[in-house]
Chains A and B, each alone.
Chain A
Amino acid sequence: MTMETGTMLGLAHSLAVLTYIFGVLIQTLPLPKHEWKAHGPDLLWDACVSELAIGVVSTIQLAVNALSSLLQSTIPGPFNSSTASFAVVMSQLVMIDAAIFLLISAVNATVVLVPIAEILARMLGSISNACTMAIVLWSTIYIVIQLFPAVWLTLYELGICFFAMPFRIGRKLGSYLMSGSIVLAVGLPLMPSLAIWLEGYIGYQGFLAQFQEIMCQIQSNPLAVAKLIELLPLAIGNLMAAVVIALIIFPLVYMFMLSAISKGLARLMGGSSGPTLTRFVLNPIN
């Protein structure tokens, strides 16, 4: 446990004690306001939950690491590490982008086939765009994946601090931070491996081989492009579908799924239920 971790947990503990004392204080008020006093036990319960969350930080850390490695090993892909899967994803995308660029350059270099080069540029422009977009998307994901193992525990502790605040000021944010950090720490490293698995399931390798064969034939003999160009739309269509589904749509859907799981876990922790500060003041429980 680092010094920062200890300090954050100390802050969360002191906030939990303060919440508990406020809960007791509200209960001792000599006022005929049962709706106010009803918040006393809620605050006591929040303080107890926060204390429990502080106590099990190390367990949560162990559980997250164990679950993450367990899921990594059960993914039916060729790679167990997210770095290897990420390298494969990036190499595929860069290879497609480079192949398109080289093809258009090669055809364009022959003066006779310049109109065909223009047609090819129009045909392949969309897939090149998609690949570039996917490269940017996956680079961002990779940075987050690299950054997250060092950050998620701090986010979790910050969540406990918010959760332990008196009068449920930061309860919702706290539970979202706690659940989000746990879910992302487990789910995010799995994304590249799952994308590779999905690519294989769709049949990406076959489409890529077909596309590469046509590219090689055109590059070796640019004059045969007129014959081979009729094969290109189907090959491009299949390849583009596989790339777009596995490497662009899948990460977005996966992130949406993680956010939904995170939201559900936050609700389970009590983040979306219970009164807020405004409800304490403006609309007390009857």
Chain B
Amino acid sequence: MPIENLIQTIAWITTQASLVAIGLFALSYAIGSLLKGAPVPFKDIKQFGSGLMNDAIRAAMELALWTSISSLISWIAVVISSAA
């Protein structure tokens, strides 16, 4: 079935993208901590480093939370269905 092949392809792309996201999280966190800890007297650079670390942590949490979010949405859907 072409649609099933398409679903498998999308699932493969999703897996690759999540691997890239994990790699980018590590890279962003490393760059962020590097910039934050750099011995340079530039406040902007340090703030940018801090922002990178925050973004990376938030994204990693969202990545890890997907199963929980998906389950929560399914539960909300079930609640709506049972109320209807």
Contact = CB atoms under 8 A, between A and B. Distances in A.
Interface in B34-84: 48, 52, 55-56, 58-60, 62-63, 66, 69-70, 73-74, 76-78, 80-81, 84
Interface residues of B, number: 39
B66 A28 contact: no
Interface string B17-31: 110110011011001
A18 B25 contact: no
A17 B73 CA distance: 13
A48 B66 CA distance: 10
Interface string A256-284: 00000000000000000000000000000
Contacts of A17: 11, 14, 66
10 contacts: A14-B14, A29-B28, A30-B24, A30-B31, A30-B52, A37-B55, A51-B70, A51-B74, A55-B76, A55-B80
A37 B62 CA distance: 14
Interface in A17-47: 17-18, 20-25, 27-30, 32, 37, 40, 44
Interface in A31-74: 32, 37, 40, 44, 48, 51-52, 54-56, 58-59, 62-63
Contacts of A20: 62, 66
B14 A21 contact: yes
Given A21-B14, A48-B73, A52-B76, A28 B55 contact: yes
Interface string A234-246: 0000000000000
Contacts of B17: 18, 21-22, 25
A62 B84 CA distance: 8
A48 B7 contact: no
Given A18-B13, A22-B17, A55-B76, A30 B28 contact: yes
Nearest to B64: A24
B80 A56 contact: yes
Which of A22, A25, A59 gathers most chain B CB within 10 Å?
A: A25
Given A17-B14, A55-B76, A55-B78, A28 B21 contact: yes
A140 interface: no
Interface string A108-127: 00000000000000000000
Nearest to A34: B51
Contacts of A15: 10
A51 B4 CA distance: 19
A27 B31 CA distance: 14
